[in-house]
Every structure is written in structure tokens, then in C-alpha cells.
Amino acid sequence: MNLLDFIEPVSLEKPEEYLISNPNILGKNIAIHTPDYDLNDIGSQNVVILGVPEDRNSINRGASLAPDQIRSGLLPLFNIEGDIRILDLGNLKQGNTFNDTYFALREVLEFLLAQNLVVILMGGTQELTIPVFQAFEGFKPNINLTTIDRTIDMVKDTVKSSAETYLGELLFRRKHLFKYNNLGHQIHLTDKTNIDLINKLYHDAHRLGEIRSNTTLVEPVLRDSDIVSFDISAIRQSDSPGHYNPSPSGFTAEEACQLARYAGLSDNVSAFGLFEYNPKFDINNQSAKLAAQLIWYFLDGFSCRSAEEPSEGNKNFKTFIVGHSDLDYEITFYKSLASDRWWMEVPDPKAGKPILISCSYNDYKLASEQEVPDLWWKSFQKLT
């Protein structure tokens, strides 16, 4: 495909204000797609940053202005240490309709994923998660999706998907979705019917308070994710005012950056989307700067990725086998001696061999106390 049919090169009004003279800033150490950049070199990169200026299927009008505003906060940050090659590809051209934009985004992502590139998306509104997911369907039979959102955007019987209802499309009409998680919903903003549906489908929703009490508990969720879709309204208004309807409660800036870093550390995450930022409502570019920091921490995590493959007999892992009186199966756990991360095996009766699921030490503790970990049970139900 010819990327130039779909992509606008990076264009900042006053680039000298962003690409300042310090040679150690990010803008001086990444490739930037300007009109004279050779796109044939794209395969030599690790990570591609792509702006998607689209908001026509949402009430959050103005979010289409987000990509360049975030970019202006990202390029002056200091460089990421480690072996990482980054290309700022520019912005997706807006189609005649939002459906045209969706089609173009899916096409571009399929091209980038085929070259094993990790893609960071600067939206735009969150229903862009749909074409992102569709792009993955050509590469993986089972896709794990995690959203970070203050509510669960789902209406089961809606005919038309929007930024407020797009999850209905993914949960009920996309057969490749294996595991869905939402992180950070606030119970006073979330329809209990949606939470019940999530549980009925053997997916998970983790409340804001649950995560704030121990952020590390959701690291395994992000470790197993293929797509992470971050709605910036999940961050409290005092830290991020740039949304048409901000909430006084939510993640702090520091907690949000930690989640972004966990996503970057994951060996599986190939698309990280940052959505719903609206410059029209921002104050002193506070949300733009925070969005830039979220991308920076994702990149920082990516630079520290270390592929680990647990298996029986692997000297880099310690194996624990737990029997359970109420199960026909033993549960095998693996602990990495290098990173202290945990995995567990879940039987797949159809395939005849177990699959590995990222888990936490707490899951091992529950199994040791003769409780079946909820993560094990829900995963097993999906496989049977």
C-alpha cells in the first residue's frame, strides 16, 4: 500500500519552539515523517506514533484537534534510554465521513502490524478502538482488549456504535475477542447492567478504588493485552481538565503514568490508544502535557521489555503445582526468577493442552488456600 494516500506528514506551526537546541530531547532522537522522509525505511523502526484526528461520531467535538496538541508536548520531553527506534508517522487523513476514517485506520494498522511494529495512537475519540480491533483480526484468532475508562461504554442493543456505545460492537459482534478488561470504572458513573453483562460474558471490570489500593494487581491484565485503549477522562479533573465532561474523581496523573508504563512493558501490547482529549477544554495545556507524559511512560516501558516464556523445566522460572479438591485439574503456576512476575496454566479441553495466563502472586495465594482464582475460572469457561 502507499501510506501517503492515508497519511499527512508531521506539520507543526513553529517547530523551532518544540525542537529546541538540546540534543537530548525526544524530538531530536526519533524519526519524524516530514515531506522529505523516506517511508521505505519504516520497517527499521520499533514503534510508530500516529495521530487520528476524528471526532464526528461523538459528542466530544474538538477531540479531533488532539494529535498535534499532544505532539507539541511530547517532542520536547527528554529522550528514552535503551534500544528503541521511534517514528512519528504524522496524522491519518480525515475521510469524507467517519466511516472512511475508520476504513483508512484499519488499512494503515494492518500494514504496520504486518511489519511487527508497535503503534501508539493519539486520538480522536474512543470508538476508534473498533477499527483498531478489526485490524488485529487478520493476525490473531484470540484478541485481548483492555480499556481504561471511568465508565463502561456499552449498550447491548444499539444499532449504531459511537464513542459512548462502541463496546457493544466489540463484545457482541466480534468473534475474535477472547478477554476484555476495563480498568478504573467509577461505580457512581457506571450502569450496573453493564457490569453484570461483563461478568456474564466472563470478562472483568476493575473498580477505581480496587486499583488505587494496589496498582500492581492490574499489571498482569495489561501484560496479557494486545490492545490498550485509554480514555483520558479516566483521570480526575484536577489533573486533566481537557475533556467536555470531566469528573472530579479518577486516577491521579502518577497512577495513569504507571498504567501506561505497565502497558509498555507488556510483550503483547501492539496498539496503545490515547483518546478523548479535547484541547477546547484544556487549561494551560495541562491535559496535553499529561497525554504526552503517558506516551513517554509507555515508551519507557517498551524500552525495558524482556520476553519471558514460562515452561516446565525452564531454569529461569520456579514451578508451583496446586491441587484443588473441587477441580478435576491441578493448577500450575510459574514465577520468574528475574522479574518476580507470575503466570498460571488454564486447561484448554478443545486444544488438548493448557494456555498460559498472566496472573499475580495473589492468585497463587488463593489457589493455595483452596480457592479457585476468578481469573482461572473465567478463562476456563471461555475455553470450554
Kindly give, in sequence order, each residue whose CB lies less than 8 Å from that of residue 339, ignoring residues fewer than 6 positions away: 306, 308
SS3 per-residue string spanning 269-289: CCEEEEECCCHHHCCCCHHHH
Predicted TM-score (pTM) of the model is: 0.95
Residue 159 confidence class, pLDDT cut points 50, 70, 90: very low
Find the mean pLDDT for residues 264-285: 97
Distance from the first to the final alpha carbon of the chain: 40
In this predicted structure, what is the pLDDT of residue 270? Answer: 98
Between residues 255 and 168, which one has the greater pLDDT?
255
The span from the CA of 243 to the CA of 246, in Å, is 5
- Amino acid identity, position 373: P
In this predicted structure, what is the pLDDT of residue 160? Answer: 55
No. of H helices and E strands in the chain? 12, 14
In this predicted structure, what is the pLDDT of residue 51? Answer: 98
Number of C-alpha atoms within 13 angstroms, CB side, residue 150? 20
The span from the CA of 121 to the CA of 132, in Å, is 10
pLDDT tens for 117-147 read: 999 999 999 999 999 999 999 999 999 999 9
The span from the CA of 212 to the CA of 229, in Å, is 19
The span from the CA of 334 to the CA of 341, in Å, is 8
250 has a pLDDT exceeding 80? yes
- Structural domains of the chain sorted by starting position, each given as residue range(s) with its CATH number in brackets: 3-303 (3.40.800.10), 317-383 (no CATH)
Burial (CB count <10 Å: 0-12, 13-18, 19+), residue 35: exposed
Burial (CB count <10 Å: 0-12, 13-18, 19+), residue 211: buried
17 has a pLDDT exceeding 60? no
